[in-house]
Chains A and B, each alone.
Chain A
Amino acid sequence: MTFLIQQTLVYTIPLMIVALAGVFAERSGIINIALDGIMIFGSFVGAFAVYLMQKENMLADNTQLMFVIAMICAAAAGAVFSLLLSFSAINLKADQTIGGTALNMLAPAITLLIVKIVSMQDRLSMPKALGFIISNPDIGEGLKPFFDKMFISTYIVIALFIILSIFLYKTKYGLRLRACGEHPQAADSVGINVYRMRYLGTTISGALAGMGGYIYIATIASGTAEGTVAGMGFLALAIMIFGNWKPVGIALGSLLFGLLKCIGATYANLDINGDGVCALKELGLPIYFYNIVPYVVVLLVLAFAAGKSRAPKAEGIPYDKGQR
């Protein structure tokens, strides 16, 4: 049980932060289909930062700080990368879906190019063990699921998630940002700079997605950059719609998906009630079944929730001052 909660959190955290990244862009009126690409780029920059730090033997005795620095680098890279989308979508009024798709294609290409130059192959492996995990084996059994074998990123993401949700719903900047995604003309008429708000939303989105990308590979993919995040960005998009563009819904969606993904990988080994019997293994279903389940569930929920879902009204429409 402890193990299941720990591993579920590991899958949930990157999804949660990247889905929130999607919310920030879409609430400001920009469809950010480039989440996956931004994750890939961010994950590469984060991994590269750690690679350099390990090579130079920096921070060898403070791996937590190293992880935080790498996350900041990844966030910065994601923010810069997302400016490409902002520029094309806001200033050039280009189609946002196509702009985002272009970024999704660009990111793995750039990443693989640099990785090949640096390491002469398709993956950037770390020279040393990452050592990011925080072990507290002596802590009480009840606290273990949340404090043993944890990553600092888990706490950072949960804190960020709460702070940013408050920002979006309880501050005047948040209100302005959301207004630009619902009715930008009305927002403009009361003196809000729509372009600036949309830049803000997309840049925050890029930063969160970039950070989520690195958290994903650092916590679950050995910390190696390979020009892919296994489609986590697209899953995050689905979870954002699943969560109806609202933080609470997203948190629940990520948890559900994280749990199902975790079961898919460990079903043969899960002993939930601790009686030594792995119930799911006894069922004798093939592994493919468990691998498919998360995606089928998301599809089903999306299909049933579609009636109630309410996307920001002005998302995907370039803002034109002359239009009424």
Chain B
Amino acid sequence: MKKVLSLVLCVAMLLGTMALVSCKKEADTYEIAVVTDVGQLMDKGFNQGTWEGAEAYAKANGKTYKYYQPANGSDATDNDRIAAMRQAITNGAKIIIAPGFLQATAMTTVAKEHPEVKFVFIDGWTLTDENNNPLSNVTAVVYKEQESGYLAGYAAVMDGYRKLGYTGGGGGTNPACNRFGYGFVQGAEAAAKALDLEAGSVTVKYSYQHGASFSASPELQTQINGWYSAGTEVVFACGGSMFESVKSAAEANPGSKIIGVDVDQSYASELVITSAVKGLKESVAKVLDQYYAGKWDSELAGKTQNLGASDDATGLPIATSRFENFTAAQYNELLGKIKNGTIVPDATVPADANDADWLKNFDIVVVDFE
């Protein structure tokens, strides 16, 4: 009996290993790889926008594609990111798209190891080697987030909101989030001036607490719930999955509104009045297009594109926005001014935004930094 059993087990094991081997042989390669930033892939924002851009391009052009999430989720280290990028290359990636400025170190390491693989660095600047020469297999895309933030802040005040809130991810050290927030306050100030409001009549609650890892948390939900309870009318949820917590808090307080970020989040909740968008999808698709058209060396290698309203990369999704007073005509007028350079929102943000002094020089808007 025992012999028979062991024989059966042996055969089963052999078959098992054979099955594994055959699996390996069939394994496909994936040309386009997306290595995600902290937070979830489907975060209704940053990661998702990048991923959908790559996905759409790959589907339309018959390319293979795959995403890689660095291990340890929101606590991912550079080593986890390096592992994810190497994994992508092992699986045959020719071009790796990595959103998030946190990826700089990992990308520099892997890009030097694999000069034959191309890297697209979203939200970051050109990477350099130890001699300060730009890495020619990396191209960088940054956005003028301050323009989207400006438009959102302007629209909110124009629409009649007076008590605004901003909760940002990255704990104050994420430049993209800081630019969004700074632009938001500047836009609110501009609208308040245009409406000739009294000094102090527009307030912005401004916080980086509980958002360091861009994830939803009970603490964040309670904090924002407190804002809404104390009269805040609309909160700009600036950071991936933090949106979930802000949404839950808004649902608990009738009449509360949300401003989304990165992509049009109007579908995620009825309470989203608008979203401060950056054209992740479009620019990823554009870069991929240039790459496959053989223009890497001439147009992308070692360069940074700084995209803004004039490239149609920043703005508000006005068609799906839920404004009551702010009209599409007003929006287009303002957007036109930003496009032609009449209005240039300031983008000089401190490396650590927890130094509250940088938000104090406004005439009408009062920033209540938490």
Contact = CB atoms under 8 A, between A and B. Distances in A.
Q: Do A and B come from the same complex?
A: yes
Contacts of B216: 221-222, 224
Nearest to B269: A129
B252 to A, nearest CB: 5
A262 B222 CA distance: 7
A174 interface: no
Nearest to A131: B251
B111 to A, nearest CB: 27
B254 A137 contact: yes
A201 interface: no
Interface string A3-28: 10001001100000000000000000
**Size bracket, chain A contacts:** 35 or more
Contacts of A264: 219
Interface in A248-267: 262, 264-266
13 contacts: A121-B69, A122-B73, A123-B40, A125-B244, A129-B247, A129-B251, A129-B269, A133-B251, A149-B252, A222-B216, A265-B219, A268-B223, A287-B209
Residue in B218, B220, B245 with the greatest tally of chain A CB atoms within 10 Å: B218
Interface in B244-260: 244-245, 247-248, 251-254
Nearest to B48: A121
**Size bracket, chain B contacts:** 20 to 34
Contacts of A121: 40-42, 69
Interface in B41-84: 41-42, 69, 73
The A contact surface, by secondary structure, is loop
Contacts, number: 83
Interface in B187-208: 207
A220 interface: yes
Contacts of A230: 217-218
A66 to B, nearest CB: 15
Contacts of A222: 216, 221, 244-245, 247-248
Given A266-B223, A271-B230, A133 B41 contact: no
Contacts of A131: 251
A135 B227 CA distance: 17
A127 to B, nearest CB: 10
Contacts of A268: 207, 209, 223, 370
Nearest to A135: B254
Contacts of B217: 221, 230
A265 B210 contact: yes
B186 interface: no
Contacts of B207: 268
A11 B42 CA distance: 28
Interface in A43-57: none
Nearest to A291: B219
B247 A3 contact: no
Residue in B219, B220, B247 with the greatest tally of chain A CB atoms within 10 Å: B219
